Homo-oligomer: A and B are copies of this chain.
């Protein structure tokens, strides 16, 4: 995808970050954050990134290639980072990478990543162009 300078800037400004403490309320019986909870937060991050890119209504149509690379123990911090990966006619692909930080040491590693496709819709739920 070749993108103009102004769209590249728009893509940078759409980057959306969400930090979270891994509290007991979101962990499973292995004492790590349940995978489904991670995907829930990644989906919300993807939705916000798409919305902030072009300020249109979006619905999610696909989630793909969500890879869990490392576990997320209780008491970690995680940061979700959403970025526009590519722009179609009426759809947009958002990559969300999740990083884990320890509370008491400096360490930052990627633990999950995935790609979400969303479609821009108007008030009648019809697809509309991403770029006007």
Contact = CB atoms under 8 A, between A and B. Distances in A.
Contact of A20 (B18, B36, B104): B18
A50 B11 CA distance: 30
A30 B41 CA distance: 18
Interface residues of A, number: 56
A59 B36 contact: no
A126 interface: no
Contact of A63 (B16, B24, B25, B114): B114
Interface stretch (A1-9, A64-72, A86-94): A64-72
Nearest to A69: B61
A131 interface: no
A127 interface: no
Interface of A: 16-30, 32, 34-37, 39-45, 47-48, 51-52, 55-57, 59-68, 71, 74-75, 77, 101-106, 114, 125
